Chains A and B, each alone.
Chain A
Amino acid sequence: MVHGFTNQFGRDNLSNIVNYGADATAFMPTLNGRRATLYLYKPRTLHQQNIRSLTYAFTDDFAERTARVINDDKNTSGINAKLTNLVTNSDSISSIVKPTTTGSALINLNHMSHLWSFLFIVDNETPMNTFDSTDMNSGPSAKLSMLYNNRVYYCGFVLDDPGFPERNIYNDNARLMITHKTVVGQAASFGPSGQNAMIDVQASNDYVPGVLGSITSTELSSNKPESIFKTVTLESDGDDNLTAMSLFNSNERVDKNKQVCFHVPDALTVPSSNVGTIVKAISRGVDFVRGESFAGTLSHDRMAARNIGPGYGEMLQEHLHQTLAIPDTSGYIGLKPESVITFGILKEHYHPQVDVYDIGATGLFSVLDQRQNNARNMLSSFIATVGTSIMTSFGLAQLSFTYDSSIPFGEGVHFHITTGMVPYSDHEKLERCRAVIKRFEREIFSICLKNRGDFHLVANLNVGNFSRVILNFYCDDERIDTPYEVPTIAGGMLSNQTAPLAVVSHNGASMGAFIDRVSKVNNNEVLLEAGAYVSSAFNNRSLLDDRIPEPPRGGGISSLISNMNNDTSSAW
């Protein structure tokens, strides 16, 4: 046990629960100068969580539209914009991605209720001026970047006894498990008005720790597109057709013997970004293979892929393997979650100020039981997990709001609490909130609407603490005021890019079918309007509904009718 951190104990934020968790993120200092602050949370009640992973539900019509975009624009100019429009179209995205219901994985997060958790914020000055080979926060890459200042957020759990932080006594060997890391940069902008500072989120990643494997009975693995694609491979009989198989690389599984199993960029947790990654990779892959098919006509061109041997499927597959992988772009700055990090290391490198928070050992209100598979739980989880990812990309740390989808023109939203990841002016903060809600409407609310209908939402989303959601659909008779709670601080432990093997297998099949269809549909323009084609043989038999005969009364049909209940929808 050693002494050494600057301690600022004493804030008892009990009342913050009632206020839906205003906490450390409410006191963000300005991003100016070097400083490090460690916010330590005393152990608090964590409930069982259900990971509701993103599930692909690619449909035939979406594949058809994607194929049309890719095939119509053979010169690839502007194709990315068209694909982005296709994917971000709310009609598309609301149909093709949804969280799992029956395939979810129960995480016994309550086993971690005895652990301290933390939020660690490091402000760095311009790396160019502070480059030091011994400084973990600087390096050659950062030196050459356009970053002026940056702020790095880490959150996670303290795996060992931290000592007595209230008395400024720390266990130097206590390990920190980082589950999330965000880098917010202050980039330079030069214009007629001079130099301006622009706040931008440079990177934001979840880290899936191996601990996850020991608190669930479900075998989990990566659900990222690049991982899912590894389940899509060639048929063994040599046909040039992609098909989904459950051959899965064990390196992608959650292994309790690893410190960090894999990272998940926040962008992948957002449906449109996730699907956009796939669609654009296919587009590039098809373009690549198409180009290579010409190269094969030259017998002396020994570099042409077709001359080497692989068929269409293999070439496309190889290309997709390369383009789907997304590296950890936050790795160039700050702590690496894969390495062992202890209080001692923090003290040595950052000399942080420490704030200790006691939010109470038990919750003051009940939360929804996540084990139940129903639309409310599923979509509440979706809002809480995806919402925080989107907020992060807009530089917001906390957003408390109510939203009613039945009120048009964006008038159904009311903001209560907003906190930026760095301090913003009131005007900028409001602008960012509006932008976030617009993105919510496109990415999240459209999925809720399409999959369940109009709803009323009360949400408090907090990237460094707990997110709570009260979601009521108009089609449900009962109204609830019990929140669905997700400890956002668990980061990668609850990422929707982690999934049971069954879900990954399902996604692989869906992705394989989608890639197969998109890459094969070429000039098939046979499109018919619904019920429009009536041959001359039927001209004497109108399809108009008013010509449909009255139902017969007898036999099984009468028994069916007799079994009808009072619901008028059951009448045939």
Chain B
Amino acid sequence: MTTIKVTDESVTNFLKEFIAQISMDHYAFDADDYIVEASTNKRLTLGTPAKPIYVYRKNPHDDGMVINPFAEVMGRMSPAMVWFYNKLISSMVAVRFIIILRECANIAEKQKVVTAKKKNEAAGSSLPELLDIASIIADVVDDKFKEELLVLANSPTEMIDLVYDPTICSINVKSEMIDEPRWIKSKNIRVKSLDKIKLAVLRILGVKSMDDYNNGLKLAELYRTRGPDDVPPRLGAYLYALKKIFLQINPYLKIEPEAIFNLHEFVTHLGLLPNYRTIASWHLDIVAKQAPSPGSSASVLTSSVAPAKSAPTNTNTAPSPTSSWPSISSSLAPTPSGNQVYRNPNLAPDPQPVRYNTGYDRPSNGGYYDRVGGQQQQGTGYYDTRGPGLPPGIPDYI
């Protein structure tokens, strides 16, 4: 194991490298440790008023928001930390599934039908896992299928999401796409395609068939993860869940090396998390409640997004918003210049969380309570990638 002397710089470097890795180098850092978009070198800003965000450093900046997951607190999270957990980590895990499906679709399209013989031939190659997935979706791969993947790419966390359950300090992996029967009604996706995509996603995650899944191999249970006691609970749960997930999906990402999450040193850093916490947990960012301004994500949540029950029940035949694949970076939304997310405005809006009014007890259907921006979020837990305080023009999805 590499011998590492833990200092403030170690923590800073760990966070910088983690963010760069998980975002597939979409984000970089300037000399003052502010997060910048690698392509434009513009600082990422969040909140109202917009503030640049930077990673933990020995001498904090006065004019920015810090990303310091080692100083964890219940209640209101800063926009920077909402972005870190919900936008960055959860979304980028989901985006990798889109990448895998995209590559598998390309393989299936080229081979059209992956026969058993070809599979055997390919077994000696480096991509047997992809061929396996390609064989699942081969029947439905066509131009329409690519458009369907674009629909998924618009809100990838509906396909796969990491949801933190604070009552048990654990991460649950959830998929609205798989678990919610009505999900497809709001999407421009064929039923047969969805069935194949579901199976492909489950196969990537290690579940062999839908029968296995329906008989108890639920993702939430398979990947439920709680961090060690000497690590901040939320951070520990997320990072250890990432370890599990990437152990499983990294082989499928070989075709896109930049998407591979390097677990080799990550595990070393996991062992050092208690040391990092000791060094860095002193810096707790104070988050004052701010009234939602017009155009902010908070107001979008309450006014402009229709509830799920109003979603169209017929197949949406609206044209795809773009004929090209979204770039990897497009899935990381918040930028000073506005929305970079591909989203078809003709598509049905995101369904809203189910509101419970049961008072004392937890939701009986396994829902959860979480807090984002001081507002208690109740419901199935699928939609909590939204956080308050994002700049105007930033949508409330990914």
Which residues of chain A have a CB within 8 Å of any CB of chain B? Answer: 55-61, 63-64, 95, 98, 100-103, 235, 239-241, 243-246, 311-313, 372-375, 378-379, 449-453, 475, 477, 501-503, 505-506, 509-514, 516-517, 520-522, 524, 526-531, 533, 535, 537-538, 541, 543, 545, 548-552, 554-557, 559-560, 565, 567-572
B226:A530 contact, CB within 8 angstroms: yes
Residues of A within 8 A of B286 (CB): 55, 100, 102-103, 502-503, 506
Q: Decide: A240 near B226, CB < 8 A? Known: A375-B283, A451-B281.
A: no
A60:B24 contact, CB within 8 angstroms: no
What are 14 A-B pairs with beta-carbon distances under 8 A? A60-B74, A95-B281, A373-B59, A506-B288, A513-B76, A513-B371, A528-B224, A531-B225, A531-B240, A565-B13, A569-B6, A569-B7, A572-B262, A572-B266
CA gap between A553 and B238 in the complex, in Å: 25
**Nearest-CB residue, chain B, relative to A373:** B60
B282:A552 contact, CB within 8 angstroms: no
Within 8 A of A (CB), among B311-364: 357, 359-362
Query: How far in angstroms is the closest Cβ of chain B from A547?
Result: 8
CA gap between A513 and B76 in the complex, in Å: 8
B288:A246 contact, CB within 8 angstroms: yes
A501:B288 contact, CB within 8 angstroms: yes
Out of B168, B257, B283, B376, which one reaches A241, CB within 8 Å?
B376
A374:B289 contact, CB within 8 angstroms: no
Q: Which of under 10, 10 to 19, 20 to 34, or 35 or more describes the interface residues of B?
A: 35 or more
**Nearest-CB residue, chain B, relative to A558:** B257
**Nearest-CB residue, chain A, relative to B70:** A451
A55:B284 contact, CB within 8 angstroms: yes
CA gap between A235 and B248 in the complex, in Å: 42
Q: Decide: A572 near B264, CB < 8 A? Known: A59-B74, A101-B283, A530-B227.
A: yes
CA gap between A453 and B233 in the complex, in Å: 20
Query: How far in angstroms is the closest Cβ of chain B from A245?
Result: 7
CA gap between A533 and B224 in the complex, in Å: 8
B58 at the interface (CB under 8 A from A): yes
Residues of A within 8 A of B247 (CB): 541, 543, 548
CA gap between A102 and B285 in the complex, in Å: 7
B278 at the interface (CB under 8 A from A): yes
Query: How far in angstroms is the closest Cβ of chain B from A437?
Result: 22
Within 8 A of A (CB), among B224-241: 224-229, 232-234, 236, 240
Residues of B within 8 A of A101 (CB): 60, 282-284
Query: How far in angstroms is the closest Cβ of chain A from B215?
Result: 12
Query: How far in angstroms is the closest Cβ of chain B from A482?
Result: 17
B75:A538 contact, CB within 8 angstroms: no
B264:A567 contact, CB within 8 angstroms: no
B265:A571 contact, CB within 8 angstroms: yes
Residues of A within 8 A of B374 (CB): 243-245, 509, 512
B266:A475 contact, CB within 8 angstroms: no
**Nearest-CB residue, chain B, relative to A522:** B361
CA gap between A175 and B148 in the complex, in Å: 78
CA gap between A103 and B283 in the complex, in Å: 10
Chain A CB within 10 A, most for which of B227, B286, B359: B286
A556:B25 contact, CB within 8 angstroms: yes
A569:B4 contact, CB within 8 angstroms: yes
CA gap between A541 and B249 in the complex, in Å: 11
Residues of B within 8 A of A375 (CB): 58, 282-283
B267:A510 contact, CB within 8 angstroms: no
A506:B287 contact, CB within 8 angstroms: yes
**Nearest-CB residue, chain A, relative to B263:** A548
CA gap between A60 and B360 in the complex, in Å: 18
B284:A100 contact, CB within 8 angstroms: yes
CA gap between A347 and B361 in the complex, in Å: 63
Stretch at the interface among B96-104, B153-161, B182-190, B206-214: B206-214
Residues of A within 8 A of B62 (CB): 102, 373
Q: Decide: A246 near B289, CB < 8 A? Known: A475-B279, A527-B226, A543-B244.
A: yes
CA gap between A549 and B261 in the complex, in Å: 11
Residues of A within 8 A of B10 (CB): 567, 569
Residues of B within 8 A of A568 (CB): 2-4
B5 at the interface (CB under 8 A from A): yes
B308 at the interface (CB under 8 A from A): no
Q: Decide: A548 near B212, CB < 8 A? Known: A530-B240, A568-B3.
A: no
B21 at the interface (CB under 8 A from A): yes
Residues of B within 8 A of A554 (CB): 257-258
**Nearest-CB residue, chain B, relative to A56:** B73
B295 at the interface (CB under 8 A from A): no
A57:B71 contact, CB within 8 angstroms: yes
CA gap between A469 and B352 in the complex, in Å: 53
Residues of A within 8 A of B166 (CB): 60, 63, 517
B17:A572 contact, CB within 8 angstroms: yes
A552:B260 contact, CB within 8 angstroms: yes
Out of B2, B232, B262, B360, which one reaches A312, CB within 8 Å?
B360
B9:A567 contact, CB within 8 angstroms: yes
B243 at the interface (CB under 8 A from A): yes
CA gap between A45 and B226 in the complex, in Å: 53
B297 at the interface (CB under 8 A from A): no
Residues of A within 8 A of B283 (CB): 101-102, 375
Residues of B within 8 A of A520 (CB): 360-362, 369
Residues of A within 8 A of B5 (CB): 569
Residues of A within 8 A of B169 (CB): 60-61, 64
Residues of A within 8 A of B260 (CB): 551-552, 557
**Nearest-CB residue, chain B, relative to A57:** B73
B236:A530 contact, CB within 8 angstroms: yes
CA gap between A549 and B267 in the complex, in Å: 12
A60:B264 contact, CB within 8 angstroms: no
**Nearest-CB residue, chain A, relative to B357:** A239
B278:A451 contact, CB within 8 angstroms: yes
Residues of B within 8 A of A95 (CB): 281
